[in-house]
Each structure stands twice: as structure tokens, then as C-alpha cells.
Amino acid sequence: MASISGLSAKARAALLARMSQRKPDQQAETPAGRRGFGDLPGMKEHDMLRSAIETLNLRSPFFREHDGIAAGHSRMGNREVVNFSSYNYLGLNGHPRVAEAAKSAIDRYGISVSASRLVSGERPIHAELEAALAKLHGAEAAIAMVSGHATNVTTIGQMMGPRDLILHDAAIHNSCLEGARLSGARRVAFAHNDWQAAGRELAAARAGASKVLILIEGHYSMDGDTPDLARFIALARQYDAWLMVDEAHSVGVLGATGRGIAEAQGIDPAEVDIWMGTLSKTLSACGGYIAGSRVLVDWLRHAAPGFIYSVGLAPALAAAAIESIRLMQAEPERVAKLNANAALFTRLAREAGLDTGASEGHAIVPVILGSSLRAVRLSEALFQAGLNVQPIIFPAVPEKSARLRFFISADHSEEDIRFAVKTVAETNASLGQV
């Protein structure tokens, strides 16, 4: 019952009593006499939290509709809210030049390329995008795929095998974990951002492995912190391992011109073996990519199932991403504005007594609450007050780490930031012990 630990003892007892009175057809368990889905992984936990939300007369904070572009402000439920739940870090989604590039691509190529690129879905715009991505990361080549999540799954799953070792940060994204699981390789997690712990694990396990892959993120999507990249590069060289860095939340955020963690920490990007990124955040499109050596990229083009057996990236998405890269590089003031906003939010939140964890104040700032139900209740109260921010709850994070996660944008004004922090602090205090 960890998911209801945010309730007072009296409220918890009342909730459990009400939940125990639910009718059988309200339960997730498999009905007698026919095959159901009540025994799916996590179904009981999901049902418990859903039931708690319903019993407490809360509205689900998930799947809320936006009527328009989800930028620093958004229209939801026929009213405008200040929006902190979108990856539109530099405000490029909906930019006139980006929209025009996408429309022009549709006029020329259609909405879909209607085939795998290997078969007959290749278009010139794919090569143009991949050249731009490779240049962005200082790599020899790049390959773009239709899903960021699938990019990690298919790349890691295809590269590694049962005789290999995958060493990953304990906070690594689910897509990396799924790719590692698919590969059949031995998987070892090390304490978050602890390069010394990673070194100890490598020293203990390297001798028994054929290939070794170290997985880290450039900017962690739950906590908003960054690794010491140079230390992990040194470990990879010492133990003859590949280093793969997931830059999904780094591009457009880290570095003076938004090139990511290598630029931010003054490191030659060629020192990293594999760069992974997404098109769905700063680059205002959808999809994922791998940038690295020409040999690796050519092999993925002919070996990665997620590329070979999937339709090619939609032309409009490729064009939008290309134009977003151009705008980001031409207007570095967007990156500066984003980081100034995030730094202000982080400073004000800490001054107000809010727990922002290890966030470094770049674009992702959690407000850690320690209770899934408190996070859901606070999210709903803030929505009513004009703020859209999503809760991150168990099992996505441990119950004690349940939080609201704020995505800061260059579109936000200083007034938006100050209003948000003040409203969060006051509303959270007003909830008391829920």
C-alpha cells in the first residue's frame, strides 16, 4: 500500500475501508469462468492507485487535452494555463519557419513515405536530416528512426548479446532498460551519477564479458542533473568499453549553442562512441537517432530491426527537425533564456522550501513530495489555479520520490516563473497532511 502512504492514518483507514466495499465487477482481478487481464504485470498496483483517486474524488491528471500548441502557455478545458508539461524547450514547436518547412515537405513528398527506407521509403530529406544531426554531435554519420524509445530498444538490443555486459546508471531511461533486456546481456546498474561505483562494477565484471556497453544520460529526465562525462569516458577507455550517451533532454538545453553535454563540459564529442537523441523535444518533431562512426551507422541501417522493418520517418517531421536545428544554431539566445528561466525557478523554489532534489536548473526541475496521492492532488489543485504540471508517481519513481516535474521553456516569462513557484508553495502548504 505504498501508493497511499501520503495520507494521514485516519484518512488511510477510511480509504481502505471504502475500497474494500467495492463491488467485484469494479476489481481488476480475473473474473471467474473466463479469461481476463487482472494478472498482467502491475495491474493490481494500477488498480489500487486508480481506485484511490476515484475514492478521493480526484480527477486523473493524465491524458489532459491541449487545444492548440503546447508552449509556455496552452489552452486546456476552454481556458489558458501556464504550461510546464511539454518538451518544447526552445519554443520552436509552432515557429512559422518550422511549420512552413513541414508544410513544404508534405507538398513535395506527401505525409508518409509509405515504406521502409530500405525498401522504397528513402527520400533526400532523410539524408539531409542525418547530415545535420551528425554535424550537431561532431560525428561521422547519423541514422534517424521513427521513435525515440524504439531507437534505444533496437540499437541496444541488436548490438549486445548474452555474452556481453551492459552497465547502466540506475536512473537510465526505460527505453535503454528495454533494449538491454531484449539483448540478453548481463545487466548491472550503478548508483545514480556515481562514476566511482561504475568503476567498481566494471572492475568486478569486465573479465567475464565479451563486449561492454556503458549507458548514461546527458541530462536526466527525472532529476534534471548531469553526469561527469569525462570520468565516464575515462572508464570506457580503461575497460575497453563503448560509451553511449542518451541526449534526449540535452540537445537545445546544455551548452552555449544547445549542442548538449559535450559542449557544456568542454569535451571533444568524438570521445563518446554513441550519441543517441530524440527529435520530439527541442527539435519539435518526432523520432529518434543515433550518431557515431560511419561503420556503426551503416551497420544499423542494414541490421537494426526497428529501422529495417519500420516505415521511414515522415517527411514533415524530418523537415521540422532540420529547420529547428537551423533556428537553434542561429538563435543561441533561446538557449540562454531557457537556462535563465530554469535557474530562476530552481532558486525561487529552494528559497520557498520546496525540494528540487539534484536538479542543476537547466530545463527539468522536480518538486519532490514523497507521496503519489499528494502529487496527484497537488497537480489537480494547481491545474485549477492555472498551472499545468504533471505528477510523476510510483512505480515510475519510488514512492518516497513521487514528485511534480516541471519542464521549463524559453517561452516562459519571468512572471510565469514567479507565479508558478508562489502558487506551488502556497497550494502545497494549504493541503496540509492529505
Active site residues: 221, 249, 281
- The DSSP annotation for 342-353 comes to HHHHHHHHHHTT
Q: Is 310 helix (H, G, I), strand (E, B) or coil?
A: coil
Tell me how far apart the alpha carbons of residues 209 and 378 are, in angstroms, rounded to a whole number.
47
Tell me how far apart the alpha carbons of residues 421 and 348 are, in angstroms, rounded to a whole number.
7
Cis peptide before 391 (omega within 30 of 0): no
Strands 79-83 and 73-76: antiparallel
* Runs of H (alpha helix) within 265-332: 294-303, 305-308, 315-330
Nearest 10 degrees: CA dihedral of 393, 337, 68, 107?
A: -120
Beta pairing partners, 391:
404
Buried b (16+ CB within 10 A) or exposed e, 96-112: eebbebbeebeeebeee
Tell me how far apart the alpha carbons of residues 396 and 387 are, in angstroms, rounded to a whole number.
22
Per-residue CA distances from 153 to 156, 158, 219, 293 (Å) = 6, 8, 19, 19
Q: Which residue has the cell 542494414?
A: 302
- Phi and psi, residue 281, nearest 5°: -110, -105
